Amino acid sequence: MYTEISKIIEGGLNGDREKVYNYAKVLADNLDASGDKALAKKIRNVISGRKAGMLALDSLSSKPVDGESRMDMVDISYPSIDDSSLVLNKDTKIEIQDFIRCYINRDKLIAAGIDEGSSLLLYGPPGCGKTTLAKYISSQTGLPLITVRLDGLISSLLGSTAKNIRKVFDFASRQECILFLDEFDVIAKVRDDKNETGELKRVVNSLIQNIDVFSRSNIIIAATNHHELLDPAIWRRFNRVLAVEKPTTKEIKILVYSYINAGNIRFKLSEKNIHTISVTLDGLSHADVKTVIGNAIKNSLISDSEEVSMYDILREAFLFRNHLINDENDYLTYLIENGMTHRELQKRGFPLRKVQAISKMLRRTDENGRIATNQILQQAR
């Protein structure tokens, strides 16, 4: 088994995809024989259908570059993402699965007289999974993901950006693939923007023309955080448009559970704690939730703690929203409102008298329903 692993590493370092593929198959067979069927299945899932993909990557090895900067204009990858990586609402999941099924069954659709490309426009707040969805579709269809690099695509030379767009589309048309245009609004802005020059019109016109003639065997996915900036003509070029929103409290709870179950570190959290955390993190994006939980895990590990506590996560959530703790009273109020007990806070070094005073203050409100004055806090000093 160690031989297979060393050969896989050797093949990866030498860029020998054939060796990686073949020895990964042998490794999966050996793991299966030794009883580790779960890991064997995972390896087979990763390499399943990748043989053709390796050939695709080889045929796309000569990437287009910007004539001025000599920077690559695309990145090519072959993501492996399963359903567990997606935490989306039910309707969004159905839309994505329908999109994938339409591509997989495109021959059936063509036979029925429906001959249109597979194009998807994703829009919504940053950090909500638009790029992850593009990677998931790549993983599910077995197509390489060609991601356009805007720093290489956009040129300072007049007219060169439109030419670069043509280069990218020509390149992607050589092989079945997914062309992914992230931060789409940068090159697809409305053409009557008074702050833009005539160059923008050339860029958008070139983009529209290339989308219209793009290979029907390929998929094109565009993503933007600013859909309101898109030129009206752009919307009509996509046969499926999907809003990707921030997670609900229920979806945040699923995300938290996924992070709890993913690593080797223990979490000291009850069901009630997890519900409280989900409510506390409401309004954050998927990426923001991952950042908060990830920071709590990292701080616990470097502090030599054996588990992540409710306090660890609440602290990171407070810092994420406020960036620093400049008022201990506000911080304590936040912790108490989110279920931290007096004993737990005292263990964390907070004076018991102050904790009790803030708790008492929170229980007392004036006739208008507002928090009472700071008199109780003054008495506690």
Q: Among residues 153, 151, 157, which one has the least CA distance to residue 210?
A: 153
Mean pLDDT (whole number) for 42-47: 77
Q: Among residues 129, 159, 132, 163, which one has the least CA distance to residue 145?
A: 132
Give residue 68's pLDDT: 75
Residue 381 has pLDDT above 70, yes or no: no
- Residue range 51-243, CATH number: 3.40.50.300
Give residue 193's pLDDT: 57
Beta strands at 145-148 and 74-77: parallel, antiparallel or unpaired = antiparallel
- Which residues have C-beta within 8 Å of that of residue 294, sequence separation ≥ 6? 259
Helix (H) or strand (E) holding 182: none
Helix (H) or strand (E) holding 148: strand 145-148
Residues 106-138 have pLDDT tens digits of 888 888 888 777 999 999 999 999 999 999 999
Q: How many Cα atoms occupy the beta-carbon half-sphere of 226 within 13 Å?
A: 11
Residue 371 has pLDDT above 50, yes or no: no
The tokens for 319 are 């810092």
Specify the pTM: 0.76
Residues 282-303 have pLDDT tens digits of 999 999 999 999 999 999 889 8
Mean pLDDT (whole number) for 9-29: 77
Of the listed ranges 11-15, 76-80, 258-262, 284-288, the least confidently predicted one is 11-15
The tokens for 174 are 């050589």
Of the listed ranges 144-153, 212-221, 259-268, 280-289, the least confidently predicted one is 259-268
Residue 368 has pLDDT above 50, yes or no: no
Residues 317-350 have pLDDT tens digits of 999 999 999 889 999 999 999 989 999 999 999 9
- Alpha-carbon distances, residue 225 vs 175, 182, 228 (angstroms): 29, 9, 9
Give residue 54's pLDDT: 52
Residues 60-101 have pLDDT tens digits of 557 888 777 788 889 998 888 877 778 888 888 999 999 999
> Positive or negative CA dihedral for 29, 31, 35, 41?
negative
Burial letters 63-72, b for 16+ CB under 10 A, else e = bbebeeeeee
- Alpha-carbon distances, residue 1 vs 6, 18, 31, 32, 37 (angstroms): 9, 18, 8, 11, 14
Question: Any alpha helices (H) in the chain, and if so which ranges?
Answer: 2-14, 17-33, 37-47, 50-59, 90-104, 106-111, 130-141, 150-153, 160-172, 198-212, 232-235, 249-262, 271-280, 286-302, 310-322, 328-337, 342-347, 352-363, 375-380
Domain ranges of the chain: 1-48, 51-243, 249-380
Are 134 and 178 in contact, with CB atoms under 8 Å apart? yes
Place 49 in a pLDDT band, splitting at 50, 70 and 90. low
Of the listed ranges 21-35, 64-78, 79-93, 364-378, the least confidently predicted one is 364-378
Backbone angles phi, psi at 217, to 5 degrees: -85, -10
The tokens for 324 are 């620093």
Higher pLDDT, 377 or 1: 1
